[in-house]
Chains A and B, each alone.
Chain A
């Protein structure tokens, strides 16, 4: 193998992606060629430099943003699907074949009557179900929740989006303590004494408002958030036009932590509160720990700068420079983490879900489920018959025609 050929394969060799034969050939060449060894070494440095790039923690609001957008989309989608699967009676038109043969006509009429009854009754049950039960969703999707109300409580409040190193030792307070904490009460920990507590709070509020009130109430909620110097991170409004127009609103917002309780109180009176959670996480220890590590690293940096000033050779200089780069990168990373904590504790997370009364999908009772299954089976049967009807009609017609022709050969 020539050096040029080997050069083409070195990267794959480094990644261990060559077939055994090629691998062996490259290996043999490397035994004897200094040049290719040097290139391989350089490639290896590129690879390991890239491998050493740190995994960065996303900003903590990312998770809420994603879930807000997804929940909004799901709510809107559920509405659309419900509309699409509603039968549209006006569009079903049946044309009876204009054959005049008595026997066939009776069969066809019976079939048609049967179909009409099926369809009318299924429309009837549907109407009945709509009025007296939870609205029907499309088949097989009865348990699809509408937006956030279906979210499982704890999950949304999971702390996994916290910066790394936080989740492990995090002291998580139970939801009820979400009320107030008075500063002094917590100043018992020796390591963190004299430091302002860093708490990350997440609140979730679900409101029901009267029909048609979502638009207005959501405006007011946004206004309240802003009046406390908070801001809306994402919001979505889903409107479904149909037999009954229903609107849902979802937003994730950040509110200065000292105003969170007030903001919640104000928003709560805009409608009927069906759910209110506040979760709290104490990250003071992590914060203090980060601060100490930053301080230590900055001292290290100063020392390195001194040494650098006294360096005599390029080699020395490079060594110090490399070390300095490493220390500075670490400082940046630590400061980044500290900023994240700082921001997260200064601005609480607040998510608000506003739905119209009655549009929230309650889970049906036992009899409700049976009724629903009955209705769905009935609709399936009607749908099946409607689908096979044309073929059945043709078959029956064909059968009678053939029989007629066979019986009266002379007649044609």
Chain B
């Protein structure tokens, strides 16, 4: 959607024009649904979140000043709603991968020692897409948030900082840490073929 067009829509919507608001819903519902889905890993919950996001946006739109872009603004509402949702859910949730792999940078335990075992593991392993999803699901929500925004949605660090209402430095270090966690988890789970030939060189020097 052209930017100018969007600005005009936002303006009309903030004056209560429901059809303009609907056009904005149409432009963003799929994106936000995907963000929420990657955050909470549940389609029903993601739908609830997106509905809540648009309700909030509709309510707050008359006060929307346009200091930030509409997309940044609505992504921020969505991220906050998703993080809230996870916070509420966390009490009932058990955090685990099926094996004790620590998230700290230096504590990846599982290595490929026995080629026979690992082959069996591989045959029984879940498939790449699911696995990525599962691993993403087990990341700390703030790490997940930066990776979803950076890699899945393609936002720049600066935009991510605005969406998450945090500093550029925080974004930088979260992405760095999140990717390294994933890198090591993926290696430990051996779902990317290129990791098979690794030779204990995995630790950073």
| Contact, CB under 8 Å: A15 / B22 | no
Report how far A98 CA is from B192 CA in the complex, Å.
90
| Contact, CB under 8 Å: B204 / A53 | no
**A381 contacts the other chain (CB 8 A):** no
**B1 contacts the other chain (CB 8 A):** no
| Contact, CB under 8 Å: A50 / B152 | yes
| Contact, CB under 8 Å: B25 / A67 | yes
**A120 contacts the other chain (CB 8 A):** no
Instruction: Knowing A63-B26, A141-B16, A155-B19, say if A56 contacts B193 (CB, 8 Å).
Output: no
Instruction: Knowing A66-B29, A317-B119, say if A3 contacts B205 (CB, 8 Å).
Output: yes
Tell me if A's interface is mostly helix, strand, loop or mixed. Answer: helix
Report how far A55 CA is from B127 CA in the complex, Å.
18
| Contact, CB under 8 Å: A67 / B129 | no
* Contact for B127 among A38, A69, A329, CB less than 8 A: A329
**A158 contacts the other chain (CB 8 A):** yes
Report how far A362 CA is from B21 CA in the complex, Å.
21
| Contact, CB under 8 Å: A73 / B132 | no
Q: How many whole Å from B68's CB to the nearest CB in chain A? A: 20
| Contact, CB under 8 Å: B15 / A66 | no
| Contact, CB under 8 Å: B59 / A49 | no
**A380 contacts the other chain (CB 8 A):** no
Binary flags per residue of A338-367, CB closer than 8 Å to B gives 1, else 0 = 000000000000000000000000000000
**A83 contacts the other chain (CB 8 A):** no
Q: How many whole Å from A272's CB to the nearest CB in chain B? A: 23
Q: How many whole Å from A53's CB to the nearest CB in chain B? A: 6
| Contact, CB under 8 Å: B122 / A317 | yes
**A11 contacts the other chain (CB 8 A):** yes
Report how far A37 CA is from B150 CA in the complex, Å.
22
Q: How many whole Å from A46's CB to the nearest CB in chain B? A: 5
| Contact, CB under 8 Å: A151 / B127 | no
**Closest B residue by C-beta to A16:** B156
Task: List residues of A (12-52) whose CB comes within 8 Å of B's CBs.
Answer: 12, 15, 17, 35, 38-39, 41-43, 45-47, 49-51
Chain B contact-residue range equals 35 or more
| Contact, CB under 8 Å: A49 / B132 | yes
Report how far A38 CA is from B195 CA in the complex, Å.
10
Choose, from B46-54, B71-79, B88-96, the stretch at the interface: B46-54
| Contact, CB under 8 Å: A56 / B34 | yes
| Contact, CB under 8 Å: B128 / A322 | yes
Number of A interface residues in the complex (CB < 8 A): 65
| Contact, CB under 8 Å: A160 / B26 | yes
Binary flags per residue of B154-196, CB closer than 8 Å to A gives 1, else 0 = 1011000000000000001001100110110011000011111
| Contact, CB under 8 Å: A329 / B128 | yes
Report how far A51 CA is from B147 CA in the complex, Å.
10
**A145 contacts the other chain (CB 8 A):** yes
**Closest B residue by C-beta to A39:** B204
| Contact, CB under 8 Å: A49 / B201 | no
| Contact, CB under 8 Å: B25 / A63 | yes
Q: How many whole Å from A397's CB to the nearest CB in chain B? A: 40
Number of A-B contacts (CB under 8 A): 166
| Contact, CB under 8 Å: A325 / B129 | yes
Binary flags per residue of B136-157, CB closer than 8 Å to A gives 1, else 0 = 1000000000010011101011
| Contact, CB under 8 Å: B196 / A318 | yes
| Contact, CB under 8 Å: A322 / B193 | yes
**B2 contacts the other chain (CB 8 A):** no
Report how far A318 CA is from B112 CA in the complex, Å.
15
From B29, B43, B157, name the one whose CB has the most chain A CB atoms within 10 angstroms: B29
| Contact, CB under 8 Å: B22 / A151 | yes
| Contact, CB under 8 Å: A156 / B22 | yes
23 contacts between A and B (CB under 8 A): A3-B204, A3-B205, A4-B205, A7-B205, A10-B176, A15-B175, A17-B172, A45-B183, A46-B186, A49-B186, A50-B152, A51-B152, A51-B154, A53-B132, A63-B26, A66-B55, A69-B55, A70-B54, A141-B16, A143-B15, A155-B23, A325-B127, A326-B128
Interface residues in chain A, defined as those with a beta carbon under 8 Å from any beta carbon in chain B: 3-4, 7-8, 10-12, 15, 17, 35, 38-39, 41-43, 45-47, 49-51, 53-59, 62-63, 65-67, 69-71, 73-74, 77-78, 140-141, 143-145, 150-152, 155-156, 158, 160-161, 308, 314, 317-319, 321-322, 324-326, 328-329
Q: Would you list the 9 A-B pairs with minimal beta carbon distance, nearest first?
A: A325-B127, A144-B16, A50-B151, A58-B33, A3-B205, A152-B19, A11-B176, A329-B129, A318-B193
Interface residues in chain B, defined as those with a beta carbon under 8 Å from any beta carbon in chain A: 15-19, 21-23, 25-26, 29-30, 33-34, 37-38, 43, 46-47, 50-51, 54-55, 58-59, 115, 119, 122-123, 125, 127-130, 132-133, 136, 147, 150-152, 154, 156-157, 172, 175-176, 179-180, 182-183, 186-187, 192-196, 201, 204-205
Given contacts A66-B50, A140-B15, 19 further A-B contacts (CB under 8 A): A11-B172, A17-B156, A43-B180, A45-B186, A45-B192, A49-B128, A50-B182, A53-B129, A53-B133, A53-B152, A56-B34, A67-B22, A67-B25, A73-B58, A77-B59, A151-B22, A317-B123, A322-B128, A324-B127
